[in-house]
Amino acid sequence: MSLIEKTVLVTGGSRGIGRSIALLFAKEGANVIINYTKDEEGATDVIKEIESLGVKGLAIKANISKAEEVDKMIDEIKENFDRVDILINNAGITKDGLFIGMKERDWDKVMEVNLKGVFLCTKAVIRKMIKQKHGKIINISSIVGIIGNPGQVNYSASKAGVIGFTKSLAREVASRNITVNAIAPGFIETDMTKILPEDVKRNMVETIPMKKYGKPEDVANLAVFLSSDKADYITGQVIHVDGGMAM
Ligand code: NAI
């Protein structure tokens, strides 16, 4: 599953699932660009690890929900790399709360990062992919976008949106040899889920047929597979990595 000479952009790659994806791509021989918003230290550490594997790494500070910052990020990428072969739309946030008390700004913020961010980053790379007649786009959705979750109306709507985006774009660009797929993780142990109350986590594990949480590497393994030529005939799919939580 060699990704030698490929260049991948992983949004939100300084920690959690994004970090794990970035490192696995580097192990497979790809050059890796990560973006981050605040965590410069985390991003620098990831780049050091990437470069120690003998491939090129670059960290770019950019808020993916702002068009001008995404444009600047793409300019910096163009200065350093000939092309982007693979885009992993991973960055995402939660602003949880029951719907009855949900603030408009918490709705907007989640939509801006989780859905508009996917739009902006994809828009920024797709023209070049069409020209080069090759590209892989992988969007990190969530099973919550499929089965819903109390307290996450904004988040699940954004992640369901990502699935609709994935399927429509997959249909638009399939003939250009570009595949677009979504990964729907279940409960993965990262900083995002660490903040959940212990009782919520205990109850959650009971709903997982495999009775354990997933690891960032479980998601990274699928991202690498979907980006490889072994997955050239797979597009428009939503693949769960959830220990059987949603079937
Ligand atoms: P995390 O909170 O550990 O990492 C999220 C990353 O996104 C961070 O690096 C953060 O800096 C970055 N980010 C946030 N807002 C950004 C912005 N405006 N611009 C650029 N980067 C930004 O979260 P985790 O768990 O690693 O999640 C990664 C993705 O997987 C997210 O899209 C999340 O919704 C999704 N996911 C996570 C699950 C889990 O159980 N951890 C389950 C299902 C989906």
Give the atom of ligand 1 at the shortest distance from the alpha carbon of 65. Answer: 18
pLDDT in 10s for each residue of the chain, 247 residues: 679 999 999 999 999 999 999 999 999 999 999 999 999 999 999 999 999 999 999 999 999 999 999 999 999 999 999 999 999 999 999 999 999 999 999 999 999 999 999 999 999 999 999 999 999 999 999 999 999 999 999 999 999 999 999 999 999 999 999 999 999 999 999 988 888 888 888 888 999 999 999 999 999 999 999 999 999 999 999 999 999 999 9
For the stretch 145-193, pLDDT in tens is 999 999 999 999 999 999 999 999 999 999 999 999 999 999 999 988 8
Pairwise CA distance, residues 59 & 62, whole Å: 10
* Fold of the 7-241 domain: Rossmann fold (3.40.50)
Going by CA atoms, what residue is nearest to atom 12 of ligand 1? 12
Angle, helices 16-27 vs 40-52, to 10°: value is 20
243 contacts 210 by C-beta, under 8 angstroms: yes
Q: Is the pTM of this model over 0.95?
A: yes
Cα of 150 vs its chain's centroid, Å: 23
Nearest CA to ligand 1 atom 39: 188
Beta-bridge partner residues of 105: none
Closest atom of ligand 1 to 185 CA is: 43
Closest among 75, 77, 65 to 12, alpha carbons compared: 65
Residue indicated by tokens 């801006």 = 112
Burial class (CB in 10 A: 0-12, 13-18, 19+), 150: exposed
Catalytic residue status for 233 = no
pLDDT in tens, 92-104: 999 999 999 999 9
Q: Where are the domains of the chain?
A: 7-241
Nearest CA to ligand 1 atom 44: 142
